[in-house]
Amino acid sequence: MHSKSIPCALGLLAGSFFSATAQKTHILQFNPSAGDSFRCEMTLNANTVSRQKEQVFSFKMLNTTAYGMLVAGKTDSIYDLRYRYGYIMLDMEVVGTKVKIDTREPLSTEAEETEEMLYNVYRVMIGSEFGTLVSSTGRVIKLNGITEMKKRLLAQLKTDYEDNANYDRMRKTLEDLMDETNMKNQIEQSFQYYPSTPVSLKSKWSKKYTFNKGIQPSTGNFVLSEYLTDSMLRVDMNVKLQSDNNEGTPLKGFMKGYYHVSMKTGVPMYSQAIVELKGKKKVSGSGDVEVNSVTTVENRITPIRR
């Protein structure tokens, strides 16, 4: 074959592959094998600015939570997943107060009170495990072991820090982090894109999207936008948001992003979403406060070879 014809031939082969793949339909669902395990990292990068008359308040946060996910078993189309906390990193600035901690490192001897409080709470969580039952359609059916884990961690926190001046704040922070409804919604958000029927390139579908407390349930609109490789596809999403504000005007906005999904297992190997909320809310005795919040959420999931 003439050397100049090689790129053309390769281009034709690639074009033939993507043309053929585009015509195929896929049953896109959660479908890993029992025994599969994954290393996961979720990173939130939040930036919120609040304005009230001449005053401006800012909140910035970069937070990474690493955890392991094991497919412990499968019964019919229900998967038994086990999660284990790895490490937590937090870099936060709110109204001039800075917090920077990483559970992989010792606490700085110059740590402020809030840094010490959060570090102690996070350290108690590291290595803790809980389970969840997830359907092939991405619905979280049940969380297992949350109540027991919460009791165990609170007992450990009391043993280690009951004499600490910030013990009550630590306890409240841990209880909020272990809120079962929020944990269920957060896990389900990772799997809420699965369509109910087979899809092909440019297929569109909608599903109910449930958020943590403070944001009303909404409808997520999805599209299979691209085949990235012969084993990975991209699903784009767009969700309208509205807060649960009971006073003033609810905050409104959107969540836009995408998933890179394994065609074999249905697991989202990478996802990114931008969440934006704007509006005004009433603060008792202070009048209206203008809020502009932008958060980027990234999830990375890496298979662990057996």
Closest by CA position to 250, among listed 239, 259, 241: 241
Tens digit of pLDDT for each residue in 96-132? 788 999 999 999 888 888 888 889 899 989 999 999 9
Q: Give kind and range of the element (H or E) at residue 267.
A: none
Where helices occur in the chain by DSSP H, the ranges are 5-23, 113-125, 146-161, 167-177, 180-189
Average per-residue pLDDT for the chain: 86
Tens digit of pLDDT for each residue in 205-256? 999 887 777 788 889 999 999 999 999 999 999 999 988 765 567 889 999 9
Give dist(CA 28, CA 194) in Å, integer: 6
Give dist(CA 5, CA 276) in Å, integer: 49
Reported as a pLDDT band with limits 50, 70 and 90, residue 12 is very low
Q: For position 100, what pLDDT does the model report? A: 93
pTM for this entry? 0.84
Q: In this structure, how many other beta carbons lie within 10 angstroms of the beta carbon of residue 110? A: 6
The burial class, CB within 10 Å (0-12 / 13-18 / 19+), for 295 is middle
Q: Is 32-304 a domain of CATH 1.10.530.10?
A: no
Q: For position 17, what pLDDT does the model report? A: 42
